[in-house]
Amino acid sequence: MKRILIVTGGGDCPGLNAVIRAIVKRASQEKDWEVLGSIQAFNGVLWEPTEIKVLTPEVVKGIHFQGGTIIETTNKGGPFAWPVKNADGTWSAVDRSVEMVRKIQYMGIDAVINIGGDGSQRISQALFELGLPVIGVPKTIDNDLSSTDSTFGFQTAVEIATEAVDKLVTTAASHNRVFVVEVMGRYAGWIALNAAVAGGAEVCLIPEFPYDLNIVKEKLESRFTRGRGFAVVVASEGARPKNGQMVYEQSDEVGYENLRLGGIGRALIKQLKDAGFAPDMRETVLGHLQRGGIPIAYDRVLSAQFGVKAFEMALKKDFGKMVSYRHPYFVSVPLKDAIVKPNFVTLDNALVKTASGLGISLGIDLNNP
């Protein structure tokens, strides 16, 4: 009997369960493979006693349209930075990676499939270097992983953000207001840019292009005549003004290393008010609504393709690689290449040109950025 271990790490994302189901269904065609899932990323392996779930076709039945992950996830700690409480009540991190690799070998695991974003795939590469037979599957609603045309979960998030823009347009128009919709996107503005184009927003602010407040104000003013008019601004949570800071809080959660972003909508409204912009303004923060719930069909299909391909890579012992969608093919790329640089929106991107062609202001002068 051969064994495969599935791990879901980082923030959850619509489509995780569809990937798990696809791996299990494909594995069941091979007769001699058992599929296991580690609970809460690699924590299930590291805990004593371990928490490992046997994933049979019966267990994964019908989960392809369920949001979240049936084996849970975490974006805290991990094998390289395991939180340990000191005698004085403070916390420090210890490296348990070598111990974990031994434990996985002892469990008779032939392949590990790590489904996760940038941080998780860095862990995959580091574990591969320690001798673990790892395969990565790219997951992120932010779509900030390079080496693949897209990641599952992203289109569902765009759909949710677009639906919000559609709804806010009607209330903005009724009240002659500006609405700022704050969407996820820590360092990459793909969700905002896609939702702004799909929803017909007037302004789109993304982390890659720090905005000029005067340009934003002028664009919004052009939408009002004698106090009548409306506009929608889509802003990534990581957007910031030129020479300004992202809006965030430092988290006190043990093992959580990210900044907690949020509040750019409110901050922008204050900046506009201070600059003398008169119309009423409101902000809406979509937050984790973009990550929960059912994946749209596109993401279920992508997840199914990723899952089947990942298992077939395991059959071929194609380790140290990540599944990648390179239209129209599903290929494997070295993990070390996939984590070199993130997938950011660039000035020459086709969608930036489209947005500009539609008259959407990106808060900068595209001819003189």
Nearest approach in angstroms of CB 122 to ligand F6P is 13
Minimum distance of ligand F6P from residue 139's CB (angstroms): 9
Catalytic residue among 118, 142, 212, 299, which? 142
**Could you tell me the smallest distance in angstroms from the CB atom of residue 116 to ligand F6P?**
10
Spatial contact of 82 and 29, defined as CB atoms under 8 Å apart: no
- From the list 179, 186, 226, the residue with the least C-alpha distance to 207 is 186
* 66 versus 143: smaller Cβ distance to ligand F6P: 143
- Tell me whether strands 321-326 and 134-138 are parallel, antiparallel or unpaired: parallel
- The structure tokens listed for 343 are 């997938």
Which two tokens mark 69?
Answer: 């992950």
Is the CB of 129 or the CB of 253 nearer to ligand F6P?
Answer: 253
Residues that bind ligand F6P (CB under 6 A): 11, 75, 117, 140-142, 184-186, 237, 258, 261, 291
Query: What are the residues facing 333 on neighbouring strands?
Result: 322
Q: Tell me, what DSSP letter sits at residue 178?
A: E
Question: In this complex, which beta carbon is closest to ligand F6P, that of residue 117 or of residue 307?
Answer: 117
**Pure H helices in 316-349:** 335-338
Cα 29–Cα 5–Cα 76 angle in degrees, nearest 5? 145
**Burial (CB count within 10 angstroms: exposed 0-12, middle 13-18, buried 19+), residue 135:** buried
CB nearer to ligand F6P: pick between 24 and 158: 158
Nearer to ligand F6P among residue 183 and residue 308 (C-beta)? 183
* Residue 142 is among the residues annotated as catalytic for this protein: yes
* DSSP SS3 for 136: strand
CB of 16 to ligand F6P, least distance (A): 13
> Considering the complex, what minimum distance in angstroms separates the CB of residue 51 from ligand F6P?
21
Nearest residue to 220 via CA among 359, 366, 369? 359
Q: Answer for the pair 109, 82: CB distance below 8 angstroms, yes or no.
A: no
Residues designated as active site = 142
